[in-house]
Amino acid sequence: MRLVLSAIMVLTLPGCVASVVKDVVTAPVKIVSKTADVLTTSQSEADEKRGREIRQREEALGKLARQREKAREKCDAGNSDACAKMQQLDDQLEVEKARPY
C-alpha cells in the first residue's frame, strides 16, 4: 500500500512543483505590468478627458452667453442694474474665450 501511495505521489508531485515555480517566476512580471497600467494614461483616456474639458468649457460659454442675452434684454427695457450685469458678463465671456483649453 505504501509503495502504491509513494508511486502516485512521485508521479503527481512534479506537476505541482512546476505550477508553483511558474507562479513564482511570472509574479514579478505581472506586478510590474499591472503597476505600469495603473500609472500610465492611455491615449483614449487622454482623449476622453480632453473632450470632457472642451464640452465643459463650451457649456460654461453657452451659459454665460444666455445670461448676457437676458441681461441685454432687461437693459434694453431700461433696467440699469441689468446693464451693469451685462457688462460684467461680457467681461467674463472674454476671459473664458481667452483661456486656453
DSSP 101: -
Flag whether the pTM goes above 0.75: no
For residue 85, the one-letter residue type is K
Task: Answer whether residue 100 is part of any domain.
Answer: yes
Asked whether the beta carbons of 30 and 69 are under 8 A apart, the reply is no
Domain count, the chain: 1
Task: Answer whether residue 83 is part of any domain.
Answer: yes
**Whole-number Å distance between alpha carbons of 14 and 50:** 53
Cell of 14: 512534479
Task: Answer whether residue 35 is part of any domain.
Answer: no
**CA 77 and chain centroid, separation:** 46
Task: Answer whether residue 74 is part of any domain.
Answer: yes
Which one is predicted more confidently, 65 or 18? 65
pLDDT in tens, 25-82: 677 777 777 776 667 778 888 889 999 999 999 999 999 999 999 999 999 999 989 9
Task: Answer whether residue 53 is part of any domain.
Answer: no
The domain containing residue 86 runs over which residues? 59-101
Task: Answer whether residue 82 is part of any domain.
Answer: yes
DSSP-derived secondary structure for 48-85: HHHHHHHHHHHHHHHHHHHHHHHHHHHHHTT-HHHHHH
**Confidence band (pLDDT; 50, 70, 90) for 4?**
low
Task: Answer whether residue 98 is part of any domain.
Answer: yes
Task: Answer whether residue 81 is part of any domain.
Answer: yes
